[in-house]
Amino acid sequence: MKTVLIVDDSASMRQVCTSALSRGGYNVVEASDGRDGLSKLAAAQKVHLIISDVNMPVMDGLTFAREVKAQPAYKFMPIIMLTTEAGEEKKAQGRAAGVKAWMVKPFQPQVLLDAVAKLVLP
């Protein structure tokens, strides 16, 4: 079973994502901000994909993405940003940080599952 790490400071958003991903057959690990995400990533057996918010306290999603990509073991980790941010500048910052996909909230759970399926290698 593939594992997805959800990093979002909104408990309700984590719950929506977890529910959709669980129904899609994924194991889910939740984190409340970027720093928590880094510690959960280090503690997890194997994470196949990360979904992160951009705007979070402690450590924002773009900083989190850069920190993940700076680690050799996670250099190729697919990261999806799931955020209210829709501006081209933020998206460009995301691409520069190694983000593979950008989804704007609110979202349809099936669209999220489709994006995850495209990025998680079988």
pLDDT at 44: 80
pTM of the model: 0.96
pLDDT value of position 45: 85
* Burial (CB count within 10 angstroms: exposed 0-12, middle 13-18, buried 19+), residue 41: buried
Q: What is the Cα–Cα distance from 78 to 57, expressed in whole angstroms?
A: 22
CA angle, residues 17, 69, 101, in degrees to nearest 5: 45
- Classify residue 116: in a domain, yes or no: no
84/69 Cα distance (integer angstroms)? 23
16 sits in which H/E element: helix 11-23
Q: How many domains does the chain have?
A: 1
pLDDT at 121: 72
Contacts of 89 (CB under 8 A, 6+ apart): none
3-class secondary-structure state, position 108: coil
On whether residue 84 sits in a domain, the answer given is yes
Assigned domain for 117 exists: no
| CATH for 62 | 3.40.50.2300
Q: Which residues of the chain have pLDDT under 50?
A: none
For the segment 86-113, what is each residue's pLDDT rounded down to a tens digit? 999 999 999 999 999 999 999 999 999 9
Is 27 contained in some domain? yes
In a domain, 119, yes or no: no
Give the domain range for residue 82.
3-111
Q: Are the C-beta atoms of residues 58 and 37 closer than 8 Å to each other?
A: no
pLDDT score for 122: 66
